Amino acid sequence: MKMYLISENINTYTGMRLAGVEGVVVHGKTDVKKELLKAVQNKEYAIILITEKIAEEFPEIVSDVRLNYKQPLLVEIPDRYGTGRKEDFITNYVNEAIGIKL
């Protein structure tokens, strides 16, 4: 099983290619949708990596794929500029999930 990257950033793409991960650089909503649907239909890919910026700009596309496809796993990764999440996002996520403040 392989990983596949969908990025809007050439630097993230280049770094992942150096690590052996195939991928594509997209620009715009139609490219994102086309490449994401093509990737989820390819049975070789177990994990699809998308940058957080894509997930933030096109949440309806990402949500649609997550709801309608059980596999592959869709993972959001930060690009070279870092994450857009707060420092304690994992703690907040756990607190919301179990309902107990840690």
Distance CA 35, CA 67 (A): 17
- Note the pTM of the prediction, 2 decimals: 0.77
Confidence of residue 1 (pLDDT cuts 50, 70, 90): confident
pLDDT, tens only, 19-39 = 999 999 999 999 999 999 999
Domain architecture of the chain: domains with CATH = 2-98 (3.40.50.10580)
CA–CA–CA angle 30, 34, 40 (5° rounding): 145
b/e per residue 18-48 (b: at least 16 CB within 10 A): eeeeebbbbeeeeebbebbeebbeeeebeeb
